[in-house]
């Protein structure tokens, strides 16, 4: 198989530091352990969020590839938990934490994990589908029927994360397994993208822009909305 991807992380127009980051492993996508992609969004004020995000991304990649377990979804969960322990030990007495989404490509299979509100989307036959569930109070209220999804964006500045790396000593990780057929794409992104672009806009961009240029276009669109947050996007697709 031939896999392609494009990634971009941008500080935006308002903030002085980029507390987002991404990492790509050195594996091969054709066979286990596969090729790992990680997107992190840190929070913690000057320097701390930036360092915590980079620390989490590095620990997830290194722990995942160090594992010889045949159960690769479990290996990814353990990589998240190792990152959680490291960040929590470093910043447990502060409000520093990291939201993360990661994906492993093994042949035509995807293993996706997340903690927080970084997202994974699957683009197939011109349609976008969100894979992950945001671990926020807002999403919980939406799913309970107590808050309309149309109204939720107005509460963006009050988002409370229920899960994040480094937020507590223990971390629950959601894991999803998907297929990645030829000509499908997987998008990993921080809330600097999905917080300012609706899913329909993301879908239309993927449908009408060359995928080699999509990550740049997403950053440009987010900045055109004011650039109030850091934004990171990785688009992954199979060429054959």
Question: How confident is the model at residue 80, as a pLDDT?
Answer: 98
Strand partners, 123: 128, 185
C-alpha to C-alpha distance for 38 and 171, rounded to whole angstroms: 17
Question: What total of structural domains would you count in the chain?
Answer: 1
Contact 233, 218 (CB under 8 A): yes
> Each residue of 136-184: pLDDT tens digit?
767 666 666 555 566 555 555 445 677 999 999 999 999 999 999 999 9
Check: CB of residue 135 under 8 Å from CB of residue 117.
yes
Digit-coded pLDDT (tens) for 60-94: 999 999 999 999 999 999 999 999 999 999 998 88
In this model, does residue 229 exceed pLDDT 80? yes
Residue 119, token pair as written in the block: 């997202």
Distance of alpha carbon 226 from alpha carbon 70, whole angstroms: 45
- Alpha-carbon distances, residue 126 vs 112, 129, 191 (angstroms): 21, 10, 22
User: Mean per-residue pLDDT for 28-54?
Assistant: 93
pLDDT at 149: 60
CATH code for position 7: 3.60.40.10
- Beta carbons of 19 and 41 less than 8 angstroms apart: yes
User: How much is the pLDDT for 153?
Assistant: 56
Higher pLDDT: 84 or 47? It is: 84
The residue among 121, 103, 112, 114 whose CA lies nearest residue 198 is: 121
pLDDT tens by residue, 89-137 = 999 888 899 999 999 999 999 999 999 999 999 999 999 999 999 987 6
* Residue 74: domain span: 3-238
Q: Phi first, then psi: what are they for 125, rounded to 5°?
A: 50, 40
Mean pLDDT computed over 54-59? 98
**Please, what is the average pLDDT of the chain?**
91
- Give the pair of three-digit tokens for residue 154: 């107005």
Q: Supply the DSSP symbol for 102.
A: E
């Amino acid at each position: 198989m031939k896999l392609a991807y494009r990634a971009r992380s941008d500080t935006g127009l308002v903030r002085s530091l980029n507390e987002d980051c991404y990492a790509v492993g050195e594996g091969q996508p054709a066979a286990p352990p596969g090729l790992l992609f990680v997107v992190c969004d840190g929070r913690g004020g000057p320097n701390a969020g930036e360092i915590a995000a980079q620390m989490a991304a590095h620990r997830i990649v290194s722990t995942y590839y160090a594992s010889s377990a045949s159960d690769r979804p479990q290996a990814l969960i353990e990589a998240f938990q190792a990152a959680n322990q490291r960040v929590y030990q470093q910043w447990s007495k502060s409000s520093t934490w990291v939201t993360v989404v990661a994906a492993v490509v093994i042949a035509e299979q995807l293993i996706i994990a997340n903690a927080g509100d970084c997202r994974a989307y699957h683009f197939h036959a011109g349609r976008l589908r969100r894979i992950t569930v945001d671990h926020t109070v807002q999403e919980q209220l939406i799913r309970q029927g107590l808050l309309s999804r149309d109204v939720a964006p107005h509460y963006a500045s009050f988002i409370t994360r229920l899960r994040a790396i480094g937020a507590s000593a223990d971390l629950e990780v959601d894991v999803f397994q998907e297929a990645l057929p030829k000509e499908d794409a997987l998008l990993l992104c921080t809330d600097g993208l999905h917080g300012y672009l609706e899913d329909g806009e993301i879908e239309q961009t993927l449908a009408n822009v060359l995928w080699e240029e999509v990550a740049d276009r997403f950053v440009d669109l987010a900045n055109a909305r004011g650039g109030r947050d850091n934004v990171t996007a990785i688009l992954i697709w199979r060429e054959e």
